[in-house]
A and B are shown apart, each in its own frame.
Chain A
Amino acid sequence: MGKLQTGCFIITIFIMILYFSVKRTVTRSHKLYSLLLIISLLYLVFDRITVYTVNHISKVPAAWNQLMHRLFLMSLVACIYLIYRYVLLMIYEEAVGENGWLMIASVAAAGVLPLYYRITELGNYSYGPAAYVTYGSVAIYTVMMSYSLLCHYKDMEKKKREIILITVVFQVTISVYQAFRPLSLISCLGITLVNLGFFLTVESPDIHLIEQLKEEKKLAEGANHAKSAFLANMSHEIRTPIHAVIGMSEMILRESREKEILSYAGDIYAAANSLLGIVNDILDFSKIESGHMEIEPVTYQLSSLLHDIYMLIGDRARQKGLSIQIKVNESIPSVLYGDDVRLKQILVNLMTNAVKYTEQGTVTLNVDGGIKGNTCALDFQVKDTGIGIKEEDINKLFEAFTRIEEKRNRTIEGTGLGINITQQLLLLMGSTLRVESVYGKGSCFFFTVEQKIVSGEAIGNLEERLKNDKGQKTHHAGFRAPNVCVLVTDDIDLNRRVFKGLLKQTGIQVVEAESGRECIRKAKEEVYDLIFMDNMMPDMDGIEAMHRLRLDENGKNRKTPVIMLTANAIAGAREEYEREGFDGYLSKPIDPQKLKKEICRFISSNRIEEVGEKEENTCFDRLTDLSCFQWDYAKLYNPEEEQLLELLNGLRQTLPDFKCEWRVILEKKDTEIDLDELRIAVHSLKGLTAAAGALTISSLSKVIETAARDGNIDRIKMLLPVLLEEIERGENDLAMLFQETKQIKSEDMQQLQIMVQMILDAMCRFDYDEADRIEKKLEQYQYVKPVQDLVLQLQESVRDLNNKKAVELGERIRQMMRGEII
C-alpha cells in the first residue's frame, strides 16, 4: 500500500544526503531549501504513517490516528508554503511575498478543526474542515506561485526558469489529480519531484557558474577601482619630472645661441610636451574611471576661451596649409558660468583631431546659442574637410584606446583616449557628443551645453578681433621688474632651478628656501614682495608654513602674498588652498604666462616694465640694416611685410623723379621757383618716407615744406642739397634691398633644382648624411610661396627618411619650375 510513500521517502533521503554532504555558503535559497527538505521528510513520514493508520482505522486508537493525520496535514501546508517561498525567491531573487499568515492560519486550522473519516470499499479517506482548509491553502499557494511564475517568466534566467516551470507544472498536475482522485495518494510524489527539481536549481552547474562569475566580477571591479585611485594619486609623482624637463629645455631655448643645441632643445621640448599631453590624457581617463572627475564651474569670458583655442590650433593648422575659421553668433552673452577648463579641453581635443585628420581645406568651429531665461544653450560644431569616418567605425571612436584604421593612420600621433574623455566630460555636463561624417569628404562633431549667464552683454564680432591678433606671437614673458624680490620654497632643487630660470629674463631677484622652516627663517629676516610655496614637502608642508607666516604677529612677511605651486591636479585642490588662505595658485608645470599674470596681480604696475619682444618676428627678417631706414618705425605703419615692401618698391621708383626735379630747382633763379609746387611735392615726400621709416628724409622734407610755406627761399636753397644727398642714400639703400631679394629670386630656381636632384640622389643610395647636409642648405634660401611650400615638405620628407615622398616632391618641384619658365 504505502510503497509509493516509502519510495518517495527513500528518494528524499537520497537527495538530502547529496545536498547536505557538500559544504555550502549560507544563502537564503540554501536556508529555504534545507528547511523544505526537512519538512518534506517529515511530511513523507507522516504520510506513510497515516496511510497505515487511516486504512486500519479500527485497529488504531482514534486519538493516535487524529494526531498523526493532523500532523500530516500541517506538514503538508508547511511544505507548500516553503515551496511557494522558494519559487518566489527564484523569480525575484529576493525575499518577497511573505503571506505567512495564511500558512499559520491553515496550520492552526489543521490542528484544531474537526476532522472526519469516511470509510469506503476502495479505501478510507479524510474530510472535514481541517482537511478542506489544508487543501484550500494548498490550492491558493499553488495558484499564487503559478501566477507569479507566468508573469515574470520572461525576466528570469533561462536555465532556472525552465526547471522551475517544469517542476511547478508537475506539481499542479499532481495536485489536480489528487484532488479528483483522493484515493490515489500521489501527493507525496508531487512533493518529492518538487524537491528533486529544486535540487537541480541549486546544483545546476550553469547556475553555479553564473554565481561564480558574479563573484569574480566584483573582485575585478574592486581591483580596477584600486588601480584608478592609485593613478590619481600618482599625478604628482609623474608630473614633477616632466615639469623639470620642460622647464629646463625652455631655459636652453631662451639662452643658447648655437643652432645645433637649439635644435636639440627644441626636440626635447616638443617631446616633453607631447609626453605631458599623453600623461594628462591617461590621468584624466583614470580620474573619470574612478569617479573622481568633477565639473568645477567658474565665471569666465567666452571670447577669451575661443581666443585661446584659436591661438592653440591656428599655428598647427597653418603649418599644414589648412585654414581655420571660428564663427560665433554675435548675440551670445559674453560672460558665462561653467567649467571653462573642461570646455576648452573638449574643444581643443575636437579641433586638434580635425587638424590631424585633414590634409587640405578648412576646419571650422561654429558657436551658436539660444537664451532661455538665465541660461544659455551653447551649440558647438566642429567641421572639417578631412578624411572622414566610415559608418561602421563611428562606434569605435568612443571606445578607449582604440584608433580607427590603424594602418592608415599610424603616422598620426595619439593615445586613442581623446574622444572617450571628451564624451565622459560631456556626460558629466549633461550633454553628449554627436558625430556625422562622410568617408573621404569630412566630419562634423557637435554638442550642446547649458551655461548660466553672468552678463547678458553680447559677445559681438569675434572674427574681426581674432584676425587682428594674428601677427602676435606670445611665447616669451616680455616684462622686466628688476627691483622685485621673491622667495621660492621647494624641497626639490631642480624645481627651484626651473623656477629661477623662468624668471631670469625679468630680472626679478629670486631667493630660494628648501623647506618650510627655512622659508619661515628667511621670512623673518627680509621682506619679500611675493612668496611662492610648494605644498608637498617633508617635515613642514606648504600649508603649515603659510599659516605660521600669517600667525607671526611681528613678522615682516605677515601680509606678503603667498602663492601655492603644486603638481597636485586633484579636483577641489584650488578651493582647498583658497580656503586655507593662499592668495594665488599655480599648477606645475608652470605656464610662464600664468606666472606673469600672478606676479602682475600683486606687484604694482609701476614696478613692471613691459618689454617688446625681441626681433623674432620672422616676417620682417628680409629687411637688412639700412642706414636710412628705421624698421621699427616702418612696422608701426605697415604691420604686414607685403605692404611695406610694396611701399618701398613704390618709393624706389619715385625717388629718382624727386631728385631730378629738385636738382633743376637749385639751378633756377629765386624768382622762378614755384613755391607752391615745391611745397606740395615735398609734403607728399614727407608722408611717404615717414611711413617707410626713412626719418631723416622725412624730417628734412618737413622743414623745407615749412620754409616753402613761409617763402624762405634761402633756407630752401640751403637745405635742398642736403635733402638730395639723403634721397640719394635712400635710393642706394633701396637698390641694395631689392637687388638682394631679386637676386634670390632669379638665381634660386636653377640652384634649387641642383639641390633637389642631389638630395634625391643621396637618398636613393641611402646616404642620409649627405641628404641632411644639403637639406640644411635649403634653409638659407627663400622662394616664392608655392615653391616654398613644396620645399618645406621636401625638407620634412628628408627628416623623416621618406624616400618615396621625397621623389614625388622632387618631381612636383620640377614640374612647377617648368611651368614657370613657360
Chain B
Amino acid sequence: MKRVLLIAEMNEITRSLNEAMLPYFQVQLCVADMDYAGKMLKIFEPDILLVLFNQIDSTGIRGIKNILKEYDMLQAVLVGSQYEFKGYGFDSDSIHIHCLTRPVKNQEIIRALCESMGISYTDYEDKILEKKDRRKHILFVDDNPLLLRSMKALVSDKYRVSIAVSGSQAFEVMQQECPDLIFLDCEMPIINGKMVLKAIRANYQFAHLPVIFLSAVADRDYIQELLALKPDGYILKPARQENILAMIEKHLGI
C-alpha cells in the first residue's frame, strides 16, 4: 500500500477525503506547520505528499513551499485555488508537483495521486480491492513476540497476517477484522490456549473459524487432552514453514 502524507487543516472536507482514501492508501494526517510537517515527513516516509490549501493561512502555505523545495524529489499533489497557486508562486510545471484546482472530487484526487506516483489507477484499484478480498487473513496468537514475528515473516508473502500476544489481545484483533484462520499457542500464562479456544467457540461470531493448536509439549497424554477439545488441527513447535503453509492451505482450500 502506498503511503500518503496529508497536510491539511482539520475540517469536514479533510475528514471526508481521509475516509475516501482509506481503502486505497495508508494515510497520515498532519497539520500545516512547517516544523511539524518536516518531522512528520522524516518519520512517516510517505511515497507522496498531498496538500489541501483549504483554510491554511499564509505562513502555513509559505512553510509548505519551503518543504517542497527541501524535499524536491518527493511527488506532491496540491489542491487549492488558482489564486493561491499563482499568488504563492507554486510551479505547476514542475514534474513533481501536480496542482488541482478546487472544487475537486475525492475520486479525482485519488486518481491524481496514482498518476503522480506512476501507477495506473484502474490497475491499482483492482489490485487493492482484489487484495482486500482475495488475501486471506491469518491470526497468530502466542506469548512469545519473537516467535510471533518469525511466524508472520514465514507466511506474510502469501497472506495477510495479524499477531496477538495474549488471548484478550487476540479477541480485540478479531473484533477489528475477523480472521479466516487462527493459530493458537497452548502454553500461555494467565489465559492458556485451551481457555481461548473455548471462548472462541462460545462466541457466535467466531465459532465457525478454524483453529489450529501450536504446542511445544510432545507428551502423548497432553496431546490427547488437547485433541479432546477438537481443534481443527495441531502443530508441534518449533513449527516449520512447510507445515504451517500446508495447514493453511488445507483449511482455506487454496
Contacts and interface: CB of A to CB of B under 8 A. Distances in A.
Contact of A754 (B39, B165, B189): B39
Interface stretch (A67-75, A567-575, A800-808): A800-808
Contacts of B176: 765-766
A613 interface: no
Contacts of A181: none
Contacts of A256: none
Contacts of A411: 189
A544 interface: no
A751 interface: yes
A771 to B, nearest CB: 11
B172 A766 contact: yes
B35 interface: yes
Contacts of B164: 766, 801
B165 A800 contact: yes
A406 B148 CA distance: 22
Interface stretch (B40-48, B66-74, B125-133, B220-228): B40-48
A799 B149 CA distance: 9
B43 A751 contact: yes
Nearest to B28: A758
A92 interface: no
Interface in A379-411: 406-407, 410-411
Q: Which of B44, B164, B173 has the most CB of A within 10 A?
A: B44
A256 to B, nearest CB: 19
A54 B26 CA distance: 122
Contact of B163 (A410, A758, A768, A774): A768
A27 interface: no
A752 to B, nearest CB: 10
Interface in B160-204: 162-165, 169, 172-173, 176, 189-190
A745 to B, nearest CB: 15
Contacts of A754: 36, 39-40, 43
B24 to A, nearest CB: 16
Nearest to A773: B45
A802 B28 CA distance: 23
Contacts of A552: none
Interface string B39-64: 11011110000000000000000000
B146 interface: yes
Contacts of B40: 754
Interface residues of B, number: 23
A665 interface: no
A770 B39 CA distance: 17
B43 A750 contact: no
A258 B40 CA distance: 27
A267 interface: yes
A581 B49 CA distance: 75
A667 to B, nearest CB: 44
A777 interface: yes
Contact of A750 (B35, B45, B145, B190): B35
B241 to A, nearest CB: 15
A773 B43 CA distance: 9
A801 B163 contact: yes
B169 A803 contact: yes
A343 interface: no
Nearest to A803: B169
Interface in A759-773: 765-766, 768, 770, 773
Contacts of A777: 42-43
A777 B40 CA distance: 12
A774 to B, nearest CB: 6
Given A267-B146, A799-B145, A758 B165 contact: no
Interface string B7-27: 000000000000000000010
Ranked 5 nearest A-B pairs via Cβ: A410-B189, A801-B165, A801-B145, A751-B39, A800-B145
16 contacts: A406-B189, A407-B190, A410-B189, A410-B190, A411-B189, A747-B39, A750-B36, A751-B39, A755-B43, A766-B172, A773-B45, A799-B145, A801-B163, A801-B164, A802-B145, A802-B165
Given A751-B43, A768-B163, A777-B42, 7 more contacts: A750-B35, A750-B39, A751-B39, A751-B42, A755-B43, A758-B28, A765-B176
